Structure 1
């Protein structure tokens, strides 16, 4: 049985994609291609990113509903949750849960620990960079995808530009009690939509991603909630192994493949 899934990792990678050019199947002119990308929609992402980078201490949670597609095309939904407590520049705790797994990542500015409560295993390695650098290190060296990783890329020089085939403003809608501006983008093999809170606090509140490289068009929907004045204590960034926990080696991806 073939299963294609959109999980929490999609939140880390789906929006940040390589540069792609506008498709030329209908041989659009340069003028028509330019019209397809609304500069105001791109600017909304820049404004949101600048605000995200201004947040130093916050808690963000997401509830993801994804789809996996069976061989006959039937879609099955699944859910996952993630909570990030962040104290920039170099402390973060992430808790990721679903019916299939539970993982925690704790970084205190000197060491990062990955803990799996079901097995009561944990791995710790030394690291002394920023939260953004940590996310890159975990992905590239250890194959660990961080939830909501794009939050640490938007508004930085690493944020990609010019990758959209189309970008448009789609009006306003509510996410919970927040009035949001709704934008839709197309790039490479993805269509995605984002709802950004109106006003002086442009926070992303909802993200919908649709894969176009699969005829079944599997989709993920993420609702994102924010606490910009959190009351967590500094102690949450210090990992204390629970009773009976076993320390194991944090093995790089290359070593795993060998």
Structure 2
């Protein structure tokens, strides 16, 4: 379907790489030049404190699991926005284990695991899998996922121990909107701005200040598309089985390379056969 193909191309290039960082359009962790800050109001100081409390809480969690239901706008050439969705179950054990089970709105299911030594991704719909050695911790692996392998991982920054630092460097303004309830959970609704993204976050009130809902608006992208996520079933003491960070490769599955690892021929080597030989 041409509309969907266009959606995938536009969304992958315009949004998903930038979604590595909750509040930035960059695929890594560059330092940004500081900008003059206006004096904060009492409400803004409260909002900043709540945001940073969430960031520190998530960054210090040794292990956790969460379910994520999300949707994203695909801006068409006509300017029309079409929404697609995804379900994810995420399990993290710091410093170096991660499991993500995903199901897209078209029914495609994938599993991605980092076991401390390797990244393994299985696409059951196409019966293929890819593996790659990956030293380092979860933070380093998430950067590698998106920046180097070009894999989709919206809101990955929420899973890293660098979250407090990233907020301090990138958030230019944060305001307190209201105290409200999301599916029965008392939450603080905050609205924040960075250079590239406006985001809203609803943070649970209480001793576990986890995010309940997030909305990102890519204000510099054509059509200002949005990404939203509902985060539920947070568990900060998950029972992890011996095989939680093990992937069973389906029978008959074909091993393939990550797209980023496939060499690209130089332009002069990609000429059609009819062009070989040239004019004598």
- The correspondence for 1:167, drawn from 147, 163, 174, is 174
CA offset digits 1:136-162 (Å, max 9, x no partner): 122232222334311233655752424
- The correspondence for 2:247, drawn from 239, 242, 245, is 239
Per the alignment, residue 51 of structure 1 pairs with: 57
Per the alignment, residue 270 of structure 2 pairs with: none
Task: Name the larger-Rg structure.
Answer: 2
Q: What secondary structure sits across from 1:45 in the alignment?
A: helix
- 1:71 corresponds to 2:72: no
1:20 Cα deviation (Å)? 6.9
CA offset digits 1:24-52 (Å, max 9, x no partner): xxxxxx68x33479233222222112111
- The correspondence for 1:189, drawn from 196, 207, 210, is 196
1:248 Cα deviation (Å)? 2.1
Alpha-carbon RMSD: 2.8
- The correspondence for 1:203, drawn from 182, 193, 210, is 210
| 1:1-258 superposed matches below 5 A | 3=7, 4-5=10-11, 11-17=19-25, 19=32, 33-35=38-40, 38-100=44-106, 101-153=108-160, 158-214=165-221, 216-225=223-232, 226-250=234-258, 252=260, 255-256=263-264
Judge conservation of contact 1:60–1:224 (CA < 8 Å) in 2: yes
Q: What secondary structure sits across from 1:255 in the alignment?
A: coil
Judge conservation of contact 2:203–2:209 (CA < 8 Å) in 1: yes
Q: What secondary structure sits across from 1:133 in the alignment?
A: helix
- Cα distance in 2 for partners of 1:227, 1:73 equals 40
CA pair 9-234 structure 1, distance change in 2 beyond 3 A: farther
Q: What secondary structure sits across from 2:52 in the alignment?
A: helix
Higher RCO (C-alpha under 8 Å, 6+ residues apart): 1
- Cα distance in 2 for partners of 1:139, 1:257 equals 23
- Structure 2 unmatched ranges of 5 or more: 27-31, 267-280
With normalisation by structure 2, the TM-score equals 0.77
**Which structure shows the bigger proportion of residues in helix conformation?**
2
- Cα distance in 1 for partners of 2:18, 2:135 equals 26
- Structure 1 unmatched ranges of 5 or more: 23-29
